[in-house]
Each structure stands twice: as C-alpha cells, then as structure tokens.
Amino acid sequence: MTAAWRPAPGPVVCLGETMAALAPDPPRPLADAGHLRLSVAGAESNVAMYLAAHGVPARWLSAVGDDPLGRRVRAAVAAAGVDVTHVRTDPHRPTGLLLKNPGPAGTRVHYYRTGSAASALGPGLLDGEPVGSAALLHLTGITPALSASCRALVTRALAPPAAERPYTVSFDVNHRAALWPDGTAPTVLRALADRADIVFVGLDEAQELWGGDLTVTGLRELLPGPRILVVKDGARTATAVTTDGTCTVPALRTAVVEPVGAGDAFAAGFLAGLLRAETLPRALRLGHLTAVSALKVTGDHGPLPEAADIARLLGLPDRDWQRYEEGSEAVRS
C-alpha cells in the first residue's frame, strides 16, 4: 500500500456553495424554537476549513450575495485560514440560506437557495486562477444539483481524462435528495463520480442511490474509474479501494453531538493525509480523527486535536487503535 498513487502536493481549491444557516438554540423543533443561532454551512468550505487546520493551503471558490449574510459567510471561512480572494460577490442574487429543524427522528434541513449567487456559477470559473494553480480540485455532488450552469461546471471539470487534467479531482457524492426532485441523481452522480481521481461515498448513501444490496466490492464494480474509492460505513469503518487492494480502518468511538459536517471533515483529513504522502491506513485514520472534530460540536466545524495527539494516535498499533475511545485519557483495557 505504501507505493500507491498519491496526488501531487500543493494548493487545494474547494468549489461550491456555502450558505448562512439558522438552527434552534437550544436544539428543538423549529415550530417550538424561541431563539435561532446563525452560522455558516457548506460542504466544500467545510473541507477547505479543515484542510487549512491541517496546514494544507486551501482556497474556497464560490459566489455570495452582496448582503450581510454573504459578508458573514466570507468572513467565517476566511477566519479559518482559507483563501477567499476569488469568491465573487453577486450584486443581483442573494446568499443562500438553510434552516435546521431538529426532531426525534433526526434533523431535517430546509433550503432557500434557488436563484442564489452560487447557483449562477458556470464552467468559466475553471479558467484562470485559482484553479489554474491547484494541485487538487475538490467537488461534491451538491453543486450539479443547484442549476444547469452548475452541472455544466462540474461536468467540464471532469470531462478530460485523468491523465490530461492539470490537477487531481476529488469528488464527494454527497447526495442531497431534496435537491434532485427530477430523479436524475443516480445516473448523473454515478457518471460524475466515475471520472474523478478520488471519490468519497457513504455505503448507505450508495445503497440509496444504486441498490440496497450494494457492498464495497459491488460499489467498486459500479465505479471502476477512480484511482481511490473511499467508502464510509457510518460509525463503523472506512475502506479505501485502489488498484493495489483494499484497506479498512475502524472509526473511533466517540459521543456524537451532531453528525452534520462529519463527512466533510473525514474527506479533508483523508486528503490531508494523501497530500502528506501518508500510507492509506494513516490517511484513513486522519480522516476519522478529523470527523470526530465535527461530531463533537453543533456546527459543521470544530477544533482539531493538538498536533502531538494526532501524531500519537496515527502511530498507535492497529489493536490499540481499535480499542481507543476518543475523549479517554488512554487506551482502555
């Protein structure tokens, strides 16, 4: 596994919409809420923020409205150490908004993003900077669901064969059923994912899209194109499949405050590991460690452990890693 393909080191560009987010504080159904907490939420900017926390140069590429929410979004992403120089301000379209509605069966999300500034992004965004100097371009399956021009953007980014692209492309399937009312998600997302170099997908997500009996092996047969296919099996394991074989690493046990953002955090940790030329097992471990940072907070982005703690956990023997519970002072006997 140590000689497997790795993306070239360098800046990462994360392209996609980030919205203002309102959530009841304390968590309760919206209909009963007395107060709402304002934050920001975006899969691609989440990845950029966690990459920056890992010391990887990260740039967020998008558009926001010329409004207070757009300024709030831009400032929040920049405060995490992400380069937002190339984020465009649209004077004619608003910043997108989402509302979280917690309930006994989980949190439901209501989107107000139709006609947003980011929904007007198009293929021309790939010309020039910052994409021109990117070592890796990170995309998700959310973007092609936003508009025809956004779908054209992602399609163009993935159109050239991998060997002819000037950058590596990572693609998180990130299926949001509410954004695909026409039922085209399975076909579109499969075609896009199969052209990426690195793909992230949840096993349950893949089963919902492409068949309830799918296994990791069946998913690889469905998506033979990616150099690395990462399949996340909830709080249990994550598996990386390459031409050299399969590597599975158990997730860390931890108390979950809110699961939103954990998949983005995992992707950032794994990518950071690859860009550091870590082995696949260590990259998967770094993905799990970063995901825990999101699981422990109510927002999408939480603080990473100290660098010394990360190094110690990455170096644990396999047996001790499997027994470790995040938040404990030592490996438990």
Structure tokens at 14: 């994360």
* Cα–Cα distance, 156 to 150 (Å, whole number): 10
How far from the centroid of its chain's Cα atoms is residue 324's Cα?
25
From the list 244, 264, 309, 318, the catalytic residue is 264
Angle of helix 203-210 versus helix 185-193 axis, rounded to 10 = 130
Task: State yes or no: is 213 an active-site residue.
Answer: no
> What sign does the dihedral 291-297-301-307 (CA atoms) show?
negative
Strand order in the sheet with 136-140: 58-61, 12-15, 136-140, 168-172, 198-202, 228-233, 237-242, 245-250
Q: Which residues contact 65 (CB under 8 A, 6 or more apart)?
A: 89, 90, 93, 94, 95, 116, 117
**DSSP classification of residue 201:** E
Give the HSE-up count for residue 317: Cα atoms under 13 Å, Cβ half-sphere. Answer: 3
Identify any residues that bridge with 238 across adjacent strands, giving them in sequence order.
232, 249
Could you tell me the CA-to-CA distances from 244 to 5, 70, 228 in Å, in that order? 9, 44, 10
Give me the active site residues, please: 264
